[in-house]
């Protein structure tokens, strides 16, 4: 009996092994490998990258930021500007002119009322939304004078409006959600959060099996054109460095995201196309200059420059990152806001040693480490638990030992905790901190260098962890925040960038663009750092 | 007998409560779910303060535990941040069947767990059955032919697989049968998931995708079980009554299968009974390697996010199952072995 | 008629008593006869020699010396085990990593045995409500799936211990964490075994006599009862080390174990997880895996041998 059962099972298995690979159907399906499952599909509740990507395909914002970091109108007829009256003279009123053919996937028209409803939902107390920024503090009102016009009034001129208005929270269907909100008092548990039906994107959600996959199919009622594909399939894999690559190599997945440099080399060898997608991130050294917490040597700009010049960043890029990126020149590397002719500091250990000598740090007691006034030059170099950073720390420790600078390395799980939470960076328990940071991409604004953001007991959420206070820089930052003219803003940031470079308080290690792999059979996929799948409607596959 | 069952169940209640309180405390003390909520864009401080209030995370630990246990619809909360508690809570508590909602996905915790349970059970039960099948065969034959080449080779092999970390076996199988076989043009197995989107869902797809994860779990588990069967079988074979049976002239076959085997199987039944509830937790490492959407992976993912509703739900489910299965196993033991009687 | 082979008892005519072998001698003799156990012992000694002698040949500085230009090189004369991702010598790292892995294995078991024996002995000896409470706690901990409990505890303790200086080396605080959590999640089964042993010994005559003589309880436990549970404890200890080494590998694989720069065999395997490395640098994971396998395997053999050696019935098996 047992033997017969075994025989039957073996036969079944053998049969399925033979049959399975030959049954390829003729549908145009692109499979995306995801290493995290979207938590929910309601944009109000989630900022998770894996979720917002899918949401972008199901709910359209007023405009997308494309792969060249330019705004492309989607629901609006044109991008608001001072010339077309979309932005008022003083910059406090922004008017969105919607297309008149917008509709939801169930056929209902999409109007400005949906935009006002969305604003209401963000501000409603019953909803545990992930963020009310900038609505709560910067926006005075959102009104809809007619069906295709939305007027947003700010308290004062707000430069980052392009990346903050209805892009993270696209318009949601009032006709479906208002009844739910009125009945339950909250949208937290709405069924719509799992289905986004009706939606406004070029795709609709066909099926979502938790832990396993999401399947998106074309929206027949899409106002933005019908997709060429029959299905986009998101396969949820483990975040372990191997499963995704195995799937991409064997063709079980067509698109893979957030590859390491080693993966990229491997996959390129297997015939996949590797793209670098700028997402605003640059791996950098944050040098502590807070006189209360930093090593006294750190307060001297020449010491900081010497440290940078003793750090062979090109070697890190070549050896640890397989040459798959380059040394970062600026906090804003990868965008238009970088200072002109930006170049990183040279690698010159001899000059670094000379600069340290000139600054008074010499090895007077012969113990191998420089010192001055009785203090040894031993610096604390901290990072998170990521392997690549630990590797960099080991390399730097050895390199610095050769010029007489001692380095103590530490790695933290709670690396990004705020001052109030006792995080190592925010409380200044370091001299060199390395991590990959970004501005409020695609907007260049950041709070990392403002005097008012230095963490303290009175300000436990402060974001200026390097403790840098420069009034000239502060003034420039205040000004750019109110400058709605794009060209003027770029000029201001270039000045900002120059100061930061000259002061060597932030030093670029490598340009941390996201690495994506695409199977050669996928055509016309252009990835944007801000809205990665913005042109999914145009994707196609070759047969 | 009835009284014994009731007494055991009553004794189990404080145990389960104690476990729940311990784990709840551990989870809360481990970290702040809001810290990881933002992912790439960290949550702003005003939003964190508001979310903490809205999700009830600003209350002291024991109060939160109380709400988890008996709900909070009898208490009032401050919804709009003005400092005045005016709205009643919406939870009924675990004792009334409400395991709360996930902090991050906002869906009911039990729903999330129950969604994944069938996948896990499918994988684990299949693996358990196949493991038992091979463990019995190997264990019995090893015992009967003790110290023969068969026994030595199999014992050696099972010791080796027993001594290997499971992820090595998993990755090894994945690499050889999924990646390399495909490269070499041989019929190959898939790299993960439970079906291929080009093919669609079907029984054959499911079976195909189950092969590698089941093989991984089986290889590691067979070793332990077969050693256990072997040592029990040996003990029984060398016991007096078997010697008597031989002396009486019964055939070797009937001795082995009718007497020895049944008595050796009894402790194994106990072992299985005690192991069964842990199947609910899935195979954390295997599910990760093969992207199997089961409860093991669910636990890992939500542990990262410190989503305590889902984590507590899963752990309590397993704990209660353990208590019930322990009772069932003890009862079954009594039924099978007439020498044991509980008052 | 079958002739039973009886061991001849040598009569010592001078002293007039049969010179029987002491229990310890019998145990050792049975152990030596167990082929697999002897094989295991030899391999284990080999591994220990590798680690101890190796640390005299390679300094720790050499184990940590990195040169990214020679990263991921295949085994060669200069680097017999190849180099790792930042150009460190893998042979040297397996030596120092082995020290850590074995140290973790051993210390975790010390915690396990310490806790398990204490709980089991106290519960078994004193009985009553002490027994009831301790046993309920034990059962409660057994009800929780151990890997899940391990993960929760690892996250709980993460980052709470500073690096510690240890015989001239600086070890990451995560080493203490993993020792603690391995010990704290594995003491339960030993507690139950010790308790049942203690229960059966408690009523024997020599214990009752000791009590009657007024010997204090703790002395009875330590001097009389525990030595008789030694067999279970030793077997548990041995197999526990194997389990601890394997579990450390799992937990490190899941990212919660020993953290770099301290090397352990487990976290060397995690570092080797990247697909590029699996495909192109098999030596990176081959050597740590081989060492884990050999160590755990030999410990399992030795433990198996010890178990058989302590079991008097195994005399009948040839």
Which residues in chain A have Cβ-Cβ distances shorter than 8 Å to C158? 413
At B104, the pLDDT band (50, 70, 90 cuts) reads confident
DSSP, collapsed to helix, strand or coil, labels residue B241 as helix
C 58-117 near B (Cβ less than 8 A): none
| Helix orientation angle between B203-237 and A2-22, rounded to the nearest 10 degrees | 150
Contact C86, C281 (CB under 8 A): no
B27 lies within 8 A of chain C by CB: yes
Task: Tell me the pLDDT tens digit for each residue of B207-257.
Answer: 888 999 999 988 888 887 887 788 777 777 777 777 777 788 777 777 777
Question: What is the nearest CA distance from B306 to chain C, expressed in angstroms?
Answer: 10
- Would the CB atoms of C277 and A262 count as touching at under 8 Å? yes
Which residues in chain A have Cβ-Cβ distances shorter than 8 Å to C71? 319-320
DSSP, collapsed to helix, strand or coil, labels residue C38 as helix
Q: C216 or A21, which is more confident? A: C216
For chain C of 318 residues, list the mean pLDDT of each consecutive stretch of 10. Answer: 50 48 76 82 92 85 82 86 87 90 91 90 84 84 80 77 70 82 88 82 78 79 73 81 87 77 82 72 85 89 81 52
CATH T-level topology, domain C25-54+89-311: MetI-like fold (1.10.3720)
First to last CA, chain A: 48
Long-range CB pairs of A299-303, under 8 A, 24+ apart, other chains included = A300/A359, A301/A503, A301/A504, A302/A355, A302/A358, A302/A359, A303/A355, A303/A356, A303/A359, A303/A361
Which residues in chain A have Cβ-Cβ distances shorter than 8 Å to C64? 394
A402 lies within 8 A of chain C by CB: no
Q: Rounded distance, CA A33 to CA A31, Å?
A: 6
Q: How far is CA C234 from CA C104, C173, C193, in A?
A: 18, 29, 12
At A10, the pLDDT band (50, 70, 90 cuts) reads low
Contact C119, C136 (CB under 8 A): no
At A24, the pLDDT band (50, 70, 90 cuts) reads very low
Residue C161: predicted pLDDT: 73
Which residues in chain A have Cβ-Cβ distances shorter than 8 Å to C174? none
A167 lies within 8 A of chain C by CB: no
With CA atoms as reference, report the closest residue to B191 among B81, B289, B274, B59. B289
C136 lies within 8 A of chain B by CB: yes
As a dihedral over the C-alpha atoms of residue A433, residue A434, residue A440, residue A443, rounded to 10 degrees, the angle is 120
Which residues in chain B have Cβ-Cβ distances shorter than 8 Å to A424? none
Task: Tell me the pLDDT tens digit for each residue of B21-37.
Answer: 888 888 887 777 887 77
Contact A388, A320 (CB under 8 A): yes
What are the start-end ranges of the H helices in A81-239? 112-123, 135-138, 161-164, 174-184, 192-195
- Would the CB atoms of A242 and C66 count as touching at under 8 Å? no
- Would the CB atoms of A394 and C278 count as touching at under 8 Å? no
Q: How far is CA A176 from CA A114, A142, A376, B108, in A?
A: 10, 20, 67, 21
Residue of chain B whose alpha carbon sits nearest to that of A419: B45
Q: Which of B29, B143, B165 to mutate to test the interface with C (most CBs of C within 10 A)?
A: B165
**Beta strands A371-372 and A375-376: pairing type?**
antiparallel
Q: What percent of chain A has pLDDT over 90?
A: 61
Map tokens 């093989």 to a residue: B215
Residue of chain C whose alpha carbon sits nearest to that of A423: C159
Tokens coding B217? 């779990």
- Would the CB atoms of C253 and B163 count as touching at under 8 Å? no
A 36-55 near B (Cβ less than 8 A): 36-37, 39-40, 45-49
| Phi/psi of residue A103, nearest 5 degrees | -145, 160
| Phi/psi of residue A316, nearest 5 degrees | -60, -45
At A464, the pLDDT band (50, 70, 90 cuts) reads very high
Q: Rounded distance, CA A36 to CA A38, Å?
A: 6
Contact B286, B120 (CB under 8 A): no
Which residues in chain C have Cβ-Cβ distances shorter than 8 Å to A414? 159
Residue A506: predicted pLDDT: 95
A66 lies within 8 A of chain B by CB: no
Q: Which residues touch A470 (CB under 8 Å, ≥6 apart)?
A: A449, A451, A499, A503
> What ipTM, to 2 d.p.?
0.78
B187 lies within 8 A of chain A by CB: yes
Query: Given A266, A393, A414, which is nearest C275 (Cβ)?
Result: A266
Q: Mean pLDDT across chain B, nearest whole number?
A: 81
Query: Given A320, A395, A414, which is nearest C159 (Cβ)?
Result: A414
- Would the CB atoms of A16 and B204 count as touching at under 8 Å? yes
SS3 assignment for A493-542: HHHHHHHHHHHCCEEEEEECCEEEEECCCEECCCCCCCCCCCCHHHCEEC
Tokens coding B337? 């072995």
Q: How far is CA C97 from the centre of its chain?
A: 16
Q: B268 or A317, which is more confident? A: A317
Q: Is C61 exposed, middle or buried (0-12, 13-18, 19+ CB in 10 A)?
A: exposed
Tokens coding A537? 């409607």
Question: What is the nearest CA distance from C104 to chain A, expressed in angstroms?
Answer: 21
Which residues in chain C have Cβ-Cβ distances shorter than 8 Å to A385? 255, 259
At B46, the pLDDT band (50, 70, 90 cuts) reads confident
Residue C220: predicted pLDDT: 76
């Amino acid at each position: 009996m047992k033997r017969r059962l075994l025989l039957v099972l073996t036969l079944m298995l053998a049969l399925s092994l033979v049959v399975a690979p030959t049954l390829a159907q003729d549908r145009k399906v692109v499979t995306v490998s995801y290493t995290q499952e979207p938590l929910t599909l309601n944009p109000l509740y989630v900022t998770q990258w894996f979720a917002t990507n899918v949401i972008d395909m199901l709910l359209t914002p007023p405009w997308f930021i494309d792969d060249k970091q330019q705004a492309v109108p989607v629901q609006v007829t044109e991008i608001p500007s001072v010339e077309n009256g979309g932005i008022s003279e003083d910059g406090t009123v922004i008017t969105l002119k919607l297309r008149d053919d917008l509709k939801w996937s169930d056929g209902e028209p999409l109007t400005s009322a949906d935009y006002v409803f969305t604003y209401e939902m963000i501000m409603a107390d019953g909803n545990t939304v992930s963020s009310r920024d900038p609505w709560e503090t910067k926006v005075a009102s959102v009104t809809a004078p007619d069906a295709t016009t939305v007027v947003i009034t700010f308290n004062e001129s707000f430069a980052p409006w392009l990346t903050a208005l209805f892009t993270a929270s696209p318009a949601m269907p009032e006709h479906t959600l208002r009844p739910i909100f009125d009945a339950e008092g909250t949208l937290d548990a709405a069924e719509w959060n799992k289905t986004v039906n009706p939606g406004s994107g070029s795709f609709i959600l066909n099926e979502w099996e938790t832990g396993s996959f999401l399947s998106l199919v074309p929206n027949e009622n899409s106002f933005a054109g019908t997709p060429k594909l029959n299905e986009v399939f998101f396969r949820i894999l483990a975040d372990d460095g191997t499963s995704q690559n195995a799937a991409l190599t064997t063709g079980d997945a067509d698109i893979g995201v957030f590859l390491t440099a080693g993966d990229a080399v491997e996959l390129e060898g297997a015939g996949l196309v590797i793209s670098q997608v700028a997402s605003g991130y640059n791996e950098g050294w944050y040098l502590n200059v807070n006189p209360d917490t930093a090593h006294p040597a750190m307060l001297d700009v020449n010491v900081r420059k010497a440290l940078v010049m003793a750090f062979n960043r090109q070697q890190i890029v070549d050896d640890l990152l397989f040459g798959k990126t380059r040394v970062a020149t600026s906090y804003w590397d990868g965008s238009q806001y970088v200072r002109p002719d930006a170049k990183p500091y040279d690698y010159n250990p001899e000059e670094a040693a000379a600069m340290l000598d000139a600054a008074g740090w010499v090895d007077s007691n012969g113990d191998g480490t420089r010192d001055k006034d009785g203090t040894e030059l031993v610096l604390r170099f901290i990072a998170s638990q990521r392997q690549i950073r630990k590797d960099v720390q080991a390399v730097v420790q050895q390199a610095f030992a050769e010029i007489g600078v001692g380095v103590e390395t530490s790695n933290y799980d709670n690396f990004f905790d705020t001052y109030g939470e006792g995080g190592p960076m925010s409380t200044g328990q370091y001299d060199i901190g390395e991590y990959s940071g970004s501005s409020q991409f695609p907007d260049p604004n950041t709070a990392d260098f403002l005097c008012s953001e230095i963490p303290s007991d009175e300000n436990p959420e402060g974001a200026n962890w390097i403790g840098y206070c420069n009034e000239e820089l502060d003034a420039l930052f205040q000004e750019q925040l109110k400058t709605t003219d794009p060209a003027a803003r770029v000029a201001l940031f270039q000045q900002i960038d120059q100061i930061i470079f000259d002061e060597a308080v932030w030093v670029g290690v490598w340009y941390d663009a996201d690495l994506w792999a695409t199977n050669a059979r996928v055509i016309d996929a252009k990835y944007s750092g801000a809205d990665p799948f913005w042109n999914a409607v145009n994707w196609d596959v070759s047969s | 007998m009835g009284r014994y069952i009731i007494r055991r169940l009553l004794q189990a209640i404080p145990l389960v409560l104690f476990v729940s309180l311990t784990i709840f405390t551990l989870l809360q003390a481990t970290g702040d779910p809001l810290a990881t909520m933002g992912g790439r864009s960290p949550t702003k401080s005003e939003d964190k303060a508001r979310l903490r209030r809205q999700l009830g995370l600003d209350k002291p630990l024991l109060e939160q535990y109380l709400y988890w246990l008996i709900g909070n619809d009898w208490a009032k909360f401050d919804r709009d941040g003005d400092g005045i508690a005016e709205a009643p809570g919406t939870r009924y508590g675990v004792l009334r069947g409400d395991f709360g909602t996930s902090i991050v996905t906002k869906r009911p915790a039990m729903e999330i767990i129950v969604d994944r349970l069938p996948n896990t059970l499918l994988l684990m039960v299949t693996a358990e059955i196949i493991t038992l099948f091979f463990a019995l065969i190997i264990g019995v034959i090893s015992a009967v032919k003790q110290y023969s080449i068969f026994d030595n080779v199999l014992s050696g092999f099972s010791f080796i697989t027993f001594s290997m970390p499971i992820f090595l076996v998993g990755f090894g199988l994945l690499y050889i049968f999924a990646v390399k076989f495909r490269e070499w043009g041989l019929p190959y197995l898939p790299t993960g998931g439970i079906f291929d989107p080009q093919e669609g869902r079907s029984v054959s797809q499911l079976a195909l995708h189950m092969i590698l994860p089941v093989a991984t779990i089986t290889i590691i588990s067979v070793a332990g079980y077969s050693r256990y069967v072997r040592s029990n079988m040996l003990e029984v074979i060398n016991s007096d009554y078997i010697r008597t049976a031989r002396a009486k002239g019964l055939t070797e076959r009937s001795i082995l299968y009718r007497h020895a085997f049944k008595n050796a199987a009894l402790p194994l039944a106990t072992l299985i009974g005690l192991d069964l509830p842990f199947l609910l937790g899935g195979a954390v490492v295997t599910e990760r390697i093969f992207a199997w959407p089961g409860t093991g992976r669910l636990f890992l993912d939500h542990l990262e996010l410190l989503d305590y509703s889902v984590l507590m739900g899963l752990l309590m489910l397993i704990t209660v199952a353990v208590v019930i299965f322990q009772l069932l196993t003890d009862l079954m033991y009594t039924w099978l072995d007439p020498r044991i009687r509980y008052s | 008629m079958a002739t039973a082979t009886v061991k001849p008892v040598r009569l010592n005519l001078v002293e007039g008593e049969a010179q029987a072998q002491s229990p310890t001698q019998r145990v050792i003799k049975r152990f030596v006869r167990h082929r697999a156990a002897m094989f295991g012992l030899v391999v284990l000694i080999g591994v220990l020699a590798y680690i101890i002698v190796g640390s005299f040949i390679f300094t720790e500085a050499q184990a940590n010396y990195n040169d990214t230009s020679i990263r991921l090189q295949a085994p060669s004369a200069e680097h017999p085990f190849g180099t790792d991702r930042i150009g460190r010598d893998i042979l040297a790292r397996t030596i120092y990593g082995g020290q850590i892995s074995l140290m973790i294995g051993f210390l975790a078991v010390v915690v396990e045995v310490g806790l398990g024996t204490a709980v089991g002995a106290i519960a078994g000896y004193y009985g009553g409500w002490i027994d009831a409470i301790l046993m309920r706690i034990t059962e409660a901990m057994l009800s929780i799936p151990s890997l899940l409990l391990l993960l929760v505890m690892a996250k709980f303790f993460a980052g709470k211990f500073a690096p510690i200086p240890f015989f001239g080396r600086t070890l990451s605080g995560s080493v203490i964490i993993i020792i603690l959590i391995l010990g704290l999640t594995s003491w339960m089964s030993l507690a139950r075994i010790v308790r049942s042993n203690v229960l059966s010994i408690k009523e024997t005559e020599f214990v009752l006599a000791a009590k009657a003589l007024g010997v204090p309880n703790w002395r009875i436990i330590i001097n009389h009862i525990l030595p008789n549970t030694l067999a279970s404890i030793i077997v548990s200890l041995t197999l526990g080390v194997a389990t601890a080494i394997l579990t450390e590998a799992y937990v490190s694989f899941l990212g919660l174990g020993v953290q770099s720069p301290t090397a352990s065999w487990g976290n060397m395997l995690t570092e080797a997880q990247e697909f590029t490395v699996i495909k192109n640098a098999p030596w990176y994971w081959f050597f740590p895996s081989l060492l884990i396998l050999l160590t755990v395997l030999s410990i399992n053999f030795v433990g198996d041998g010890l178990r058989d050696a302590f079991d008097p019935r195994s005399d009948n098996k040839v």
